[in-house]
Structure 1
């Protein structure tokens, strides 16, 4: 059955169609939640809450993006809300006066494993970690990141730039044991 048909049936509260959409997306969305919350049990909780919210609000899905992209945004937002509820408050950032230089170079030295990069991302300050993860791992652009995190486009760009600089320093220390 085509996705749009499943979504339309879900809008009519068809439980079989809901189960089919769940089956199609649960593994991928679990992975998204796990990348944020880090604990398998918490990721399962976030996943279930995200699907409940998605099915409660499925009438708001207009098809402007794929259902998967729409659902992924719900999972990301729910994951961030979960982290906030665990007293990991996000820091407000005033950025009206900032000018951001673009830096699209995300290369790392040969021999640095993907797992090492992931570990390094985990050590970033929270305000940088979220932006780096949303941009680099989840593939969101600055406009989407600013909406998800409730920050301006400029703050997203600034945090990404600073997060990347911190990430390079962390990787240097992990690789060579020094920051110099």
Structure 2
């Protein structure tokens, strides 16, 4: 639930308290979205931290033209895409595929996915191309409206609807293949 003071934040508010409140309320959403886009635990940690640092610096400039959640997820999306474009990550990702790293204990994300009844469905979502994956995640996981998704991704509502249709169509194909071939 949105807090009204975020829309009209002025310099009289304690930014540390507001930031703590933002992190408590949206921290998991930001981390999960970064993980969905990057598929890397370490990257999601770093990106989440960068998002809240950026939000802390820009608290007083938030104009309330979108929800706070959309604002934070937009920052997370941009940071994730920049991360994926970097030459460093392409090299590290390739190295991880050649020499896989072992995790000492399961992450919170892994535990969460294990508990979800729809874990295999999310596995299929993760196989989709990024453009299709984004709209599915923002719609079904975060419950955002088409208009809000369009504004966040800087696309027309028609494009979002088209991507949503293609994503659902591709998901149907993947599920049908799984049932038929046991893939």
Pairwise same-fold verdict (TM > 0.5): yes
**1:74 Cα deviation after fit:** 2.7
Tell me how far 1:133 sits from its aligned partner. Answer: 1.9
Structure 2 match to 1:114 = 118
- Aligned partners of 1:128 and 1:160 also within 8 Å: yes
CA-CA distance at 1:130 after TM superposition: 1.8
Give the number of the structure with larger relative contact order, counting CA–CA contacts within 8 Å between residues 6 or more apart.
2
The 8 Å contact of residues 77 and 148 in structure 1, kept in 2 or not, is answered as: no
The aligned residue for residue 134 of structure 1 is 138
Say yes or no: does 1:154 pair with 2:166. Answer: no
| Corresponding position of 2:41 | 40
TM-score normalised to the size of structure 2?
0.65
Pair 1:165-2:166 in alignment: no
Alignment of 1:33-112 (within 5 A): 33-63=34-64, 67-85=68-86
Q: In angstroms, what is the RMSD of aligned CA positions?
A: 3.2
Tell me the CA shift for residue 68 of structure 1: 4.3
Structure 1, unmatched stretches of 5+, are: 88-112
* Structure whose residues are more often helix by fraction: 2
- 1:174 paired with 2:175, answer no
Partner of 1:17: 17
2:55 and 2:72 in contact (8 A); partners too: yes
**2:70·2:152 contact (CA, 8 Å) conserved in 1?**
no
What is the aligned partner in structure 2 of residue 124 from structure 1? Answer: 128
Q: 1:82 to 1:138 in 2, by over 3 A?
A: farther
Q: 1:121 to 1:27 in 2, by over 3 A?
A: closer
Matches of 2:123 and 2:143, distance apart in 1: 18
Tell me which moved more, 167-176 or 59-68. 59-68
Cα shift at 1:63: 4.7
Unaligned 5+ segments in structure 2 are: 91-116
CA contact (8 A) 1:37 1:79 kept: yes
